[in-house]
Amino acid sequence: MIKDIKRYFPILNQEVNGYPLVYLDSAATSQKPIQVIEAMKKYYEFDNSNVHRGVHTLGNRATDAYEGAREKVRNFINAKSMKEIIFTRGTTTSLNTVASGYGRQNLKEGDEIVISIMEHHANLIPWQQLAKEKGAILNYIEPEADGTLSLEKVRATITPNTKIVSIAMASNVMGTINPIKEITKIAHENGAIMVVDAAQGAPHLKIDVQDLDCDFLAFSGHKMCGPTGIGVLYGKQTLLENMEPVEFGGEMIDFVGLHDSTWKELPWKFEGGTPIIASAVGLGAAIDFLNEIGLENIEAHEHKLAAYALDQLETIDGLTIYGPRDANKRCGLVTFNLDDVHPHDVATVLDMNGIAIRAGHHCAQPLMKWLKVTATARASFYMYNDEADIDALVTGLRSAKEYFNDVF
């Protein structure tokens, strides 16, 4: 199945530094199938126009394509209405919109915000800055030793003073899949809203926002086979209706006077300026592609790869793995360090062999501090990876270890 899928990704059919490319950095950004590339090419060749405003044929075609993509997103996460789907630049913009819109309107001094130590900076700094501005208190849930979140600690941290809880569906460092539905229930029992960072969830796990009952959910197109520059903010309709926009002008206005203005209805109220039309079309094509393969199949494939990677990596002396050892508790990524070799050096040697991984703090510096490291190496998998890619990684890591042992 995977070999058949790989042929849809033209970028993977190349050599890097004289070796066949092994791309193990999909948690940073996924590669794009030909279906997405062709959908965007077709849009620019035949339909390109601004949306909603024109009465000419191209304008109508572009509008249909853009709003059609919104309906695909709605169906993809099982939202009740297209009014609940806001197109943004990405997860970071979506989370900032909630912090700046909902947070500023609803938080007061002494209120509490709860996040976890494993959050990406995009789901940490907006809340940190909001807490400073409002005199609110930012509380953290500390992970267990294996990198998972315990519901006991969640219950102990979320209190009746908590107004906002914001948690990643899956950690971009440890791969941990968090119990979002259960955390949402605890948040609601305490009168708080639940925000979900699904950047590492949407590409790999089937999402049903009605089943989760979360209040807001954010994700990015580029991590799920779509183009860069497009993301989604889902919000419950009543919450979005009561939120003020954070960007003004262009698409989102209804009536503009000299001293006051009114806004369009949802979802356009939050989409100031010319929308990200072509990228929305690309995201729609990516969703079609993912639906055709099936999120359940992708998840099962990644659990299998993660289990294989954990088993193989554990055979390398001096290699430390971070996060859950149970592959079913993590999405398709493994973060590790080699003793006495800096992660950037590991990544550089692997690149010499055509293997692309990520090295650094992964935009999660508080988690790095908690792990007692400054940086880690991360290999992340997607539907187009297979066991042979992991074998190449393990061989490359053994070579890197030998290289640095010889040098030093």
Beta bridge partners of 335: 322, 378
220 and 319 in a single domain? The answer is no
Q: Which of 291, 316, 348 is the last residue before a domain boundary?
A: 291
pLDDT in tens, 249-307: 988 999 999 999 999 999 999 999 999 999 999 999 999 999 999 999 999 999 999 99
Find the domain containing 328 and state its range.
2-31+295-407
Strands 319-322 and 261-263: unpaired
Q: Which of 235, 269, 291 is the last residue before a domain boundary?
A: 291
110 and 61 in a single domain? The answer is yes
Confidence of residue 53 (pLDDT cuts 50, 70, 90): confident
Phi-psi label, residue 90: left if phi above 0, alpha if psi -120 to 50, beta otherwise? left
* Amino acid sitting at position 201: G
Q: Which of 261, 291, 321 is the last residue before a domain boundary?
A: 291
280 and 240 in a single domain? The answer is yes
Q: How many domains does the chain have?
A: 2
Identify which of 288, 280, 346 has the alpha carbon closest to the alpha carbon of residue 88.
280
160 and 79 in a single domain? The answer is yes
Residue ranges of E strands in 198-300: 216-220, 231-235, 253-256, 261-263
Return the CATH number at 258.
3.40.640.10
232 and 301 in a single domain? The answer is no
Residue 49 main-chain phi, psi, to 5 deg: -170, 165
pTM more than 0.85: yes
Q: CB of 195 within 8 A of CB of 234? A: no
Confidence of residue 402 (pLDDT cuts 50, 70, 90): confident
57 and 167 in a single domain? The answer is yes
Distance CA 93, CA 221 (A): 13
95 and 189 in a single domain? The answer is yes
318 and 263 in a single domain? The answer is no
304 and 378 in a single domain? The answer is yes
| Active site residue ranges | 363
55 and 8 in a single domain? The answer is no
